[in-house]
Amino acid sequence: MLDLGSDVRGLTARLVDIESVSGGERALADAIERALGAVGHLTVERDGDAVVARTDLGRPQRVVIAGHIDTVPIVANVPSHESGGRLYGCGTSDMKSGVAVQLKLAAALAEPVHDVTYVFYDCEEVDAERNGLRRLARNRPDLLEGDFAVLMEPTGGVIEGGCQGTMRVEVTTYGERAHSARSWMGHNAIHEAGRVLDVLRAYAPRRPEVEGLRFHEGLNAVFVSGGVAGNVIPDECVVTVNYRFAPDLTEEAAEAHLREVFTGFDVRVTDSAPPARPGLDHPAAAAFVQAVGAGQARAKLGWTDVARMSELGVPAVNYGPGEPTLAHTRDEYVLLDAVVEAEQRMTGWLTGAAGAPFRPEPDDSA
């Protein structure tokens, strides 16, 4: 049984020690469901291995506080151990420390200033189609309704707003096969792909400011493949390009941009995920930034589930005590002081404590 009255540091360790690699979250979901079921001011529901607990106080606003309970595969780094103010183990930063904060808030705050929906979901670390938040959005969209959402992913204690979209396209060049001893009888598709690389090498990525946050785009080849045999002039070459685009563009606009950039080439979209605007102009978000972030926030450049919340019409940010650079590493740890601080800041927000006025954090990218 999880003891939600225990210190958030000890609770984090307890959560890490219940293994929950993606697809194997049942034991942890059971423990969370049972512990929250014993809290009188919450209504608890379950969908697969996702657990949703809500207050229902009739507040004018509802906020969603969400986190995934699965981890990447364990590499001899469970159970957890503490050393020098750090808790080591798989999932300490990504993101059982965040989940521990969620659980502490859920149990402790019987009368928060906003109604709160606490979401604990499965399968975030694997293919998008298995994602538990995606399943919830399809099965029970009512459970995800709210005016603002916080995903407690590892951000090193900094609020990260919005997220960039990502699109992958295959840019294919064509030629004509010939024996390489008579190469002038054919046309070399790999040489032709040099023109695609010319475009990429000359490309100047945008760094637009969106709602006060500085984004940073990127256009890069992530794969290249071509060739038939060691003595044949190749007739096809495929450059797979990944475009990371700021949230002032829609997916449609991003695709149109790529088709313009690669005018004259065969361009096929193979994968796409939308960006999310920061949404920090929403009153609930602005209040959150003041109370929790001491007025500071920065742009999220990677793609996260905030985009999924954004698609549901719920402005969302990332904020959590974990260290993003340690996620998915063998030596993953979390600073225990940071977990305590996150609990305190979130508590301050949900109990109405004041914060500093919002100002974007200085841009830290080179």
Binding-site member from 72, 232, 269, 353 for a second copy (CB under 8 A): 232
Total site size for a second copy, rule CB under 8 A: 48
For 350, list phi and psi in degrees, rounded to 5. Answer: -75, -10
Nearer Cβ to a second copy (288/303):
303
Question: Dihedral sign, CA of 29, 34, 35, 39?
Answer: positive
List 183, 256, 283, 359, residue binding a second copy (CB under 8 A)? 183
Q: Which of 249, 301, 307, 334 binds a second copy (CB under 8 A)?
A: 301
Instruction: Provide the pairing of β-strand 359-360 with 296-299.
Output: parallel
Residue 124 is among the residues annotated as catalytic for this protein: yes
| CB contact at 8 A, 27 and 18 | yes
C-alpha to C-alpha distance for 362 and 59, rounded to whole angstroms: 35
Q: Which helix (H) or strand (E) holds 171?
A: strand 165-174
Site for a second copy contains 204 (CB under 8 A): no
Q: How far is the CB of 240 from a second copy (least distance, A)?
A: 7
C-alpha to C-alpha distance for 192 and 198, rounded to whole angstroms? 10
Interface with a second copy, residue 242, by CB under 8 A: yes
Least distance from C-beta 223 to a second copy, angstroms? 3
Identify which of residues 240 and 347 has a Cβ nearer to a second copy in the complex: 240
Residue 70 CA to residue 150 CA, distance in Å, equals: 18
Residue 230 CB coordination number (10 Å): 6
Closest to 318 (Cα-Cα) out of 329, 332, 302, 333: 302
Which parts of 119-178 interact with a second copy (CB under 8 A)?
164, 166, 168
CA proximity to 80, closest of 22, 9, 30, 24: 9
Catalytic choice (25, 124, 305, 323)? 124
| Only segment of 39-47, 131-139, 227-235, 257-265 that touches a second copy (CB under 8 A) | 227-235
Enumerate the active-site residues.
70, 124
Interface contacts to a second copy, rule CB under 8 A: 164, 166, 168, 179-185, 188, 190-191, 193-194, 197-198, 200-201, 205, 216, 218, 220-234, 237, 239-240, 242, 244, 271, 301-303, 365-366
